[in-house]
Structure 1
Amino acid sequence: MTQVNPLSSASTATTSAAAKPQTLDYSAFLQLLIAQMKNQDPTEPMDSAQYMGQLASFSQVEQSMAANAKLDSLLTSSSLQIADAAIGRTVTSADGLVSGTVTSVRIAADAPIATLADGRELALSSGVRMS
């Protein structure tokens, strides 16, 4: 009969959890910054250069999030325009092996995916010709 050591199982679980990369989202970053400011030692306040560096980091995070949101919106809009233009038209893959009339399009993470009249699918990415 095989016995399982509960301590080794727990340490394995802890190790695998610790191996996952930890990321800090926008709200967590704000909470940490505010907590640091609230709990600083009044007799030794934070160095102003360090404080300005953290504010600059905060500003960069905020600007990056706004830029990412705009890029996501632009990519979605582009995918919808491609999908609208493709329905009912004949598409041909870049290598010429797949061709057919588009009956429907679904939006995927990488590119819109056209469903052809014969049931095959074709990613509407660069190199695909529409006629």
Structure 2
Amino acid sequence: MSVSAVSAVTESGTSVSSAAQQQLTLDYNAFLTLMMEQMKHQDPTDPVDSTEQLAQLASFSNVEQSIETNKKLETMLANMSFGQVDDLIGRTATDASGTTGIVTSVEVYDDGTLLGLDNGKGILLGSGVKIS
């Protein structure tokens, strides 16, 4: 198993490109496989400290739990959005560019909520949108 190095990092050093992010993403089984390979190929005269290995495993477990928690929070927020969209149907919506119409449908996506208007146009719900 080989892991390629990441060369594209932003100036702040905190984020990487999506391709690099995919390379860095490991599931729990891949992490354990990598750790076992590391143990198999370690120098017998200078073995890795077992407490260090347990600390790595605990850190990975915490990150994995955080990712799962974020996924559940995103699902909860989307469900809350669905509960609030009923109030928008039948109301008049106007965006910053002057597009106006009566809301006939609401579509919730990962990156925002789209209001379908009676004139066939759509407005992305966000800052600058007036609902009356």
Q: TM-score range by the shorter chain?
A: 0.5 to 0.7
> What secondary structure is seen at the aligned counterpart in 2 of 1:118?
coil
How many angstroms apart in 1 are the aligned matches of 2:33 and 2:87? Answer: 46
Q: Greater Rg, structure 1 or structure 2?
A: 1
Amino acid of the structure 1 residue aligned with 2:68: A
TM-score by length of structure 1 reads 0.66
Higher percent of residues as helix: 1
Q: CA deviation at 1:102?
A: 0.8
**Count of residues paired in the alignment:** 112
Q: Relative to structure 1, is the Cα distance of residues 24 and 110 closer, same or farther in structure 2, using a 3 angstrom cutoff?
A: closer
TM-score by length of structure 2 reads 0.66
Q: CA deviation at 1:79?
A: 2.8
User: Pick from 67, 72, 80: which aligns with 1:78?
Assistant: 80
Structure 1 residues 43-54: aligned runs within 5 Å = 45-54=47-56
How many angstroms apart in 2 are the aligned matches of 1:36 and 1:112? Answer: 47
Q: Relative to structure 1, is the Cα distance of residues 33 and 85 closer, same or farther in structure 2, using a 3 angstrom cutoff?
A: farther
8 Å contact kept, 1:113–1:124: yes
The residue number in structure 2 matching 1:33 is 35
**Cα-to-partner distance string for 1:56-100 (whole Å, 9 max, x where unaligned):** 32222222222211221133123313432212221222x261221
Gaps of 5+ in 1: 1-18
Gaps of 5+ in 2: 1-7, 9-18
How many angstroms apart in 2 are the aligned matches of 1:65 and 1:45? Answer: 32
How many angstroms apart in 1 are the aligned matches of 2:114 and 2:129? Answer: 11
Q: Which has the higher contact order (CA 8 A, sep 6+)?
A: 1
